[in-house]
Amino acid sequence: MPHWMKLVAPVALAALLALLPAPDGLAPHAWLYFAIFAGVVLALVLEPIPGALIGLTGVTLIALLSPWVLYGPAELARPGFRPATASLAWALSGFSNATVWLIFAAFMFALGYEKSGLGRRIALLLVRAMGRRTLTLGYAIAFADLALSPFTPSNTARSGGTIYPVVRNLPPLYGSLPNDPSARRIGGYVMWTAIAATCVTSSMFLTALAPNLLALELAARTARVTITWFEWFLAFAPVGAILLLAVPLLAWKLYPPEVTEGGEVVAWAGEELARMGGLTRKEALLGVLVVVALGLWVFGEPAINSTTVGLAVFAAIVLTGIASWDDVLANKQAWNTLAWFATLVALAGGLAQVGFVAWFAGRVGGAVAGVSPTTALVALVVVFYLAHYAFASVTAHVTALLPVMLTVGAAVPGMDMKALTLSLVLTLGIMGILTPYATGPSPVYYGSGYLPARDYWRLGAVFGAVFLAVFLVVGIPWIMLIR
């Protein structure tokens, strides 16, 4: 699609919806709010401009038009009510949201891994220990991602920025070159195992993927459901363990390497570790901080909030010199995510504020009458998962579909909303395996030269089906049991 069409399409959609009469039972200002929200979602899908700018534009437009789109006649008629002041407080509300700041703090963990070198050291140690055979090399890659994932909310930074720079050096050691018939010797297996593993770990931990945290905030606003870090981990643990152990072996069977063993990788990893030298003070300090944070996230609630833990460790990372304040200021991805998610949280919360969510729930109630809660839950999960084929961003997927799915679920009599919420949000990581654009690091591995388009789409479909099947057969019954 031409760039000008990507710019025009969201505006056209918002204008078209705004010109239509409000549906029965929905206040006119709520319909106008939804029109702008729909335009924002389409812009997030098409991305004609950066996502953070899209969100900022959306909240600013609504704040400017607040007397017509954010507040109804009853609110405007209240004595002393000032829509300009109230709308500004609404627009900035996302920046005071605890979840948004936890996301930002978790990005600082990733910065610490990068600046201290601990992330690279962990990956190299596992490669040296398990790299003599290609299959165990696959497990080394998966376990390296697992070790970094609880503290790296960007799987692009974790896999694309830490794991990939290590593994891209491995295939040439065996004469396996990108964009060459030799790519299948070992390179294709290594690259596919890496992207598949990071999709699993992205679902395993709440803090392993930034949209996970955004999803929980939207769930809290839409369905009044709260989920702790440990509840998330416990709910996905059986599925995560099965898939993480299965990924290297499944890739071995479905995309087998020609080279099955050799000492070149082990020797290379040893040389790289020798160049790094012994464990540095920064690496040791970061290791301690990581263990403390994990312990407090698991056992600290409700005595200490998860965001407080994240911010405390972030401050410690800077104060101890693991990363400098200039490093923090230069971390564009963290600041971009802060602005992006803060505005999206405000926009999504506005749907409930204007009454659109309650109206929509009432309208769909009749459509799902007679459907059992379990059948509805499974159907919603499958639709939510497969719909990711249409999205190039997990964030856009969450913003567009999660509130809708939760609202539909709430209209089903007897639906356990916490079970439904867990069942939906836990798929956000694993759905990243579906396409070459499904999640942040996907284009990195797709562009490596080791995974041709035809192979990537085929493997994505097969692994995507396996991931979904395991989640439906193991994950949902487990969630129902622990719920």
- The amino acid occupying position 193 is T
Percent of the chain predicted with pLDDT > 70:
99
Contact 44, 54 (CB under 8 A): yes
In 20-133, which residue ranges form alpha helices assigned H by DSSP?
A: 28-46, 51-64, 66-69, 73-76, 83-92, 98-116, 118-130
What pLDDT score was predicted for residue 255? 94
In 224-355, which residue ranges form alpha helices assigned H by DSSP?
A: 229-254, 264-276, 281-299, 306-319, 325-330, 332-353
Q: Distance between alpha carbon 149 and the CA centroid of its chain, in Å?
A: 12
User: How far is Cα 125 from Cα 135, in angstroms, rounded to an integer?
Assistant: 16
Contact 323, 359 (CB under 8 A): no
DSSP string, 211-257: HHHHHHHHHHHHH-----HHHHHHHHHHHHHHHHHHHHHHHHHHS--
What pLDDT score was predicted for residue 98? 83
What is residue 260's three-state secondary structure? coil
What pLDDT score was predicted for residue 368? 63
Contact 161, 153 (CB under 8 A): no
User: pTM of this prediction?
Assistant: 0.82
Place of tokens 């790094």: 276
The string of pLDDT tens digits covering residues 93-121 is: 889 888 788 878 878 887 888 888 888 88
> Which residues in the chain come in under a pLDDT of 70?
364-369
The string of pLDDT tens digits covering residues 21-56 is: 999 989 999 999 999 999 998 888 788 998 889 999
What pLDDT score was predicted for residue 450? 92
Q: How high is the mean pLDDT of the chain?
A: 90
The string of pLDDT tens digits covering residues 139-188 is: 999 999 999 899 888 888 788 878 888 888 888 888 888 988 898 999 99
User: What's the angle, vertex CA 194, arms to CA 190 and CA 199, rounded to 5?
Assistant: 150
User: How far is Cα 333 from Cα 327, in angstroms, rounded to an integer?
Assistant: 12
